[in-house]
C-alpha cells in the first residue's frame, strides 16, 4: 500500500538513460533502502514506456496544467470581462465554486488512476524505490543509480547547499539569506533623500513599474521563464539532456541558493582526458530564452574544456523567478559548487556568458532601472581578472538601429566602459576617439588599416604595461599613460581594444564555433 501511495504522489518519469558497462551495478545487489539494482539498457528501452492507464491519465493532467497556465496569464482580462458582465455576484460565484470543486475531485481521481498505472509498471516501481532510497541515504551508489533517470526535477534531492562551504560559516563576508552583496542597493548619500511630497508624487509610478516588472515585464525580459514556452520545448530539452548525459557523461545536480531557489546544473568533467584545456572549467551563462540543454555549452565542449551549465531561476528545472538579485544568488552558489564540490581553483574557472545584455526594448526606463536592472557594465568593471568580449557583427538583437550599423551594437559600450574604468588616462580624449574609429570599422581590412595607420608597436605597448604592473601591482584602475604623448595613448588604446574584443561575423543566435572560443588576454 505504501508503494502504491508513492506511485500516486511520485514525480513524472521521462527517460531511463543508457548505462555504460563499467558503470552498471552488479545484478545481485538486493533491493534495500541503501542499495537497489539499477536497470540494464539491454532489457529496457532508454525512453520510459508508461502503461496505457498512466499514459492517458498523464495526458489529461498535462492538458489541465496547460489550461490552468493559460487561465493564469489571462486572469486579469477574464476578471475584467466577468465584472463588466455582472458575473461576479455571490449568486453566480457559488455555483461556479461547486463546478470547480467537482473538477478538482475528478482530477484527483485521474491522479490516482495514474498512480495505479505506475504501480503496475516494473520500470516505475524500480525508479521510485531508488528515489526513496536516495532521499533516505544520499550515498554515492544511490546517487549514481538515480542519475540513470530523467524525471521531474522538483523531486531530485539537493546535492549542494549554499551554506556548505566552511568559509561561509567562518567569515562574515559570505551571503546571508537576503542574498549576495553584489546587487544590494547602496545607501543614499547625505542630502539625496527624497522629501515626503516627492515620495507621494512618485508612488503611482513606482506601483505601476512594480506591477509591470512582476507581470509582463519579467516575462518579456526572460521569455524562457514562461511555462507555456517550456512546455513546448520539453521534447528538445529532454533530448539535449540525454545527449549531455549519454554522450558526454554529464552529471546533473541540484544546488540550493541562499534565497531558497533550487538551481538545475549539468557538469561535464574533462579532467581525465589527454587535452590540457580539460583542466579548466567553463561556467556557461545562457541567454534570456536559453537553457543549458540546448545552449552555449556546446562551444566549450567541442573545444575540450570541462563545462558547468546551469539554468536561470524559473527556467526548466530551476525554481524561482529570474530577477537580478535571484540571478546573483544563483551564480554565487554555482561558483561555490565549482570550487568546493567539483574541486576547481578560481584561476581555472572561466565565465562564458551569452546575450543577456540585450534588454527588451518595450520596457519603460523606470521599470528596468528599479526592478530589472542587469547593469552588465557596472558588474564587469568590478571584476579584476582578464576579459574577452566577442562582438557579433550582424547581431540583430543588441543593436539599437539595424544590424548593419555596427556602432549601435551594445557590445561597444561594454568595451568602452571597461577600458575607461581600467585605463582612464589612456582612454582620454585621443584614446577614446581612436577606439571609436576602430569599433566603427565594418571589415577586418578596415580594422587593420586603422591599426596600421597609427603604427601600433605591440612590443612597446607590452613593455609599458608590464613595467607599470611590476611597479604598481595588478589592481585596476591603472594610471598608466598619465605622462604619455597623445600618439602613445592612441597606440596603447588601440592595442588594449584589440586584446579585449574580437569580432565574430554572425547573428545573435548563431552558436560560437569551437575555434573562436579563446582564453582572454592577460599580461
DSSP code for 267: E
Residue 138, classed as helix, strand or coil, is: coil
Q: Which value, in Å, is the radius of gyration of the alpha carbons in the chain?
A: 27
Contact 491, 460 (CB under 8 A): yes
Q: Which three cell numbers stand for residue 375?
A: 547593469
* Catalytic annotation, residues: 355, 395, 472
Q: Could you write out the three-class secondary structure of 379-403? A: HHHCCCCCCCEEEECCCCCCECCCC
Contact 345, 168 (CB under 8 A): no
Name 103's Cβ contacts closer than 8 Å, sequence gap at least 6.
none
DSSP code for 283: E
Bridge-partner residues for 47, per DSSP?
Answer: 15
Contact 6, 132 (CB under 8 A): yes
Question: In terms of DSSP H, where are the helices of 341-485?
Answer: 365-371, 376-381, 411-422, 429-440, 444-453, 458-472
Instruction: Kindly report the backbone phi and psi dihedral angles of residue 263, in degrees, each rounded to the nearest multiple of 5, phi listed first.
Output: -105, 125
Question: In terms of DSSP H, where are the helices of 163-307?
Answer: 166-170, 196-212, 218-221, 227-242, 298-302
DSSP code for 179: B
Question: 486-500 and 444-453 helices cross at what angle (nearest 10)?
Answer: 150
Residue 118, classed as helix, strand or coil, is: helix
Of the chain, the end-to-end C-alpha distance in Å amounts to 67
State the Cα–Cα distance between residues 510 and 516, nearest whole angstrom. Answer: 12
CA dihedral for 103, 108, 113, 115, sign (positive or negative): positive
Amino acid at each position: 500500500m505504501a508503494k502504491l501511495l508513492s506511485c500516486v504522489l511520485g514525480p513524472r518519469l521521462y527517460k531511463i538513460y543508457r548505462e555504460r558497462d563499467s558503470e552498471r551495478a552488479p545484478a545481485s545487489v538486493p533491493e534495500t533502502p541503501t542499495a537497489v539494482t539499477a536497470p540494464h539498457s539491454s532489457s529496457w528501452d532508454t525512453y520510459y514506456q508508461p502503461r496505457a492507464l498512466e499514459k492517458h491519465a498523464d495526458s489529461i493532467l498535462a492538458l489541465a496544467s496547460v489550461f490552468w497556465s493559460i487561465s493564469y496569464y489571462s486572469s486579469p482580462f477574464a476578471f475584467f470581462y466577468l465584472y463588466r458582465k455582472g458575473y461576479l455576484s455571490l449568486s453566480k460565484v457559488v455555483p461556479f465554486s461547486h463546478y470547480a470543486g467537482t473538477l478538482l475531485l475528478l482530477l484527483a481521481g485521474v491522479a490516482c488512476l495514474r498512480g495505479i498505472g505506475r504501480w503496475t509498471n516494473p520500470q516505475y516501481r524500480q525508479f521510485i524505490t531508488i528515489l526513496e532510497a536516495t532521499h533516505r541515504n544520499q550515498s554515492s551508489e544511490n546517487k549514481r543509480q538515480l542519475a540513470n533517470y530523467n524525471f521531474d526535477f522538483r523531486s531530485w534531492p539537493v546535492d549542494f547547499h549554499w551554506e556548505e562551504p566552511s568559509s561561509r560559516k567562518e567569515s562574515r563576508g559570505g551571503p546571508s539569506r537576503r542574498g549576495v552583496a553584489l546587487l544590494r542597493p547602496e545607501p543614499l548619500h547625505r542630502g539625496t533623500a527624497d522629501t515626503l511630497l516627492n515620495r507621494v508624487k512618485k508612488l503611482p509610478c513606482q506601483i505601476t513599474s512594480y506591477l509591470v516588472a512582476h507581470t509582463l515585464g519579467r516575462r518579456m525580459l526572460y521569455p524562457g521563464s514562461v511555462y507555456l514556452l517550456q512546455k513546448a520545448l520539453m521534447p528538445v530539452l529532454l533530448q539535449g539532456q540525454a545527449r549531455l548525459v549519454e554522450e558526454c557523461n554529464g552529471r546533473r545536480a541540484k544546488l540550493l541558493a541562499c534565497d531558497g531557489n533550487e538551481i538545475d546544473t549539468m557538469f561535464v568533467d574533462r579532467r581525465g582526458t589527454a587535452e590540457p584545456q580539460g583542466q579548466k572549467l567553463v561556467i556557461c551563462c545562457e541567454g534570456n530564452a536559453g537553457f543549458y540543454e540546448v545552449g552555449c555549452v556546446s562551444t566549450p565542449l567541442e573545444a575540450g574544456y570541462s563545462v558547468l551549465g546551469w539554468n536561470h531561476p524559473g527556467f526548466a528545472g530551476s525554481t524561482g523567478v529570474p530577477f537580478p538579485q535571484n540571478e546573483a544568488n544563483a551564480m554565487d552558489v554555482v561558483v561555490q559548487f565549482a570550487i568546493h564540490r567539483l574541486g576547481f581553483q578560481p584561476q581555472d574557472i572561466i565565465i562564458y556568458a551569452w546575450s543577456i545584455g540585450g534588454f527588451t526594448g518595450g520596457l519603460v526606463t523606470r521599470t528596468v532601472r528599479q526592478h530589472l536592472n542587469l547593469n552588465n557594465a557596472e558588474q564587469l568593471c568590478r571584476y579584476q581578472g582578464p576579459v574577452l568580449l566577442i562582438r557579433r557583427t550582424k547581431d540583430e538583437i543588441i543593436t539599437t538601429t539595424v544590424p548593419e550599423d555596427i556602432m549601435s551594437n551594445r557590445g561597444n559600450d561594454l568595451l568602452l566602459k571597461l577600458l575607461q574604468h581600467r585605463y582612464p588616462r589612456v582612454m582620454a580624449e585621443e584614446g577614446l576617439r581612436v577606439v571609436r574609429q576602430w569599433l566603427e570599422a565594418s571589415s577586418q581590412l578596415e580594422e587593420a588599416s586603422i591599426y596600421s595607420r597609427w603604427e601600433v608597436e605591440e612590443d612597446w605597448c607590452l613593455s609599458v604595461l608590464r613595467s607599470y604592473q611590476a611597479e604598481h601591482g595588478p589592481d585596476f584602475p591603472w594610471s598608466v599613460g598619465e605622462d604619455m604623448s597623445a600618439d602613445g595613448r592612441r597606440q596603447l588604446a588601440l592595442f588594449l581594444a584589440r586584446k579585449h574584443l574580437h569580432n565574430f561575423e554572425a547573428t545573435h543566435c548563431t552558436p560560437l564555433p569551437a575555434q573562436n572560443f579563446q582564453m582572454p588576454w592577460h599580461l
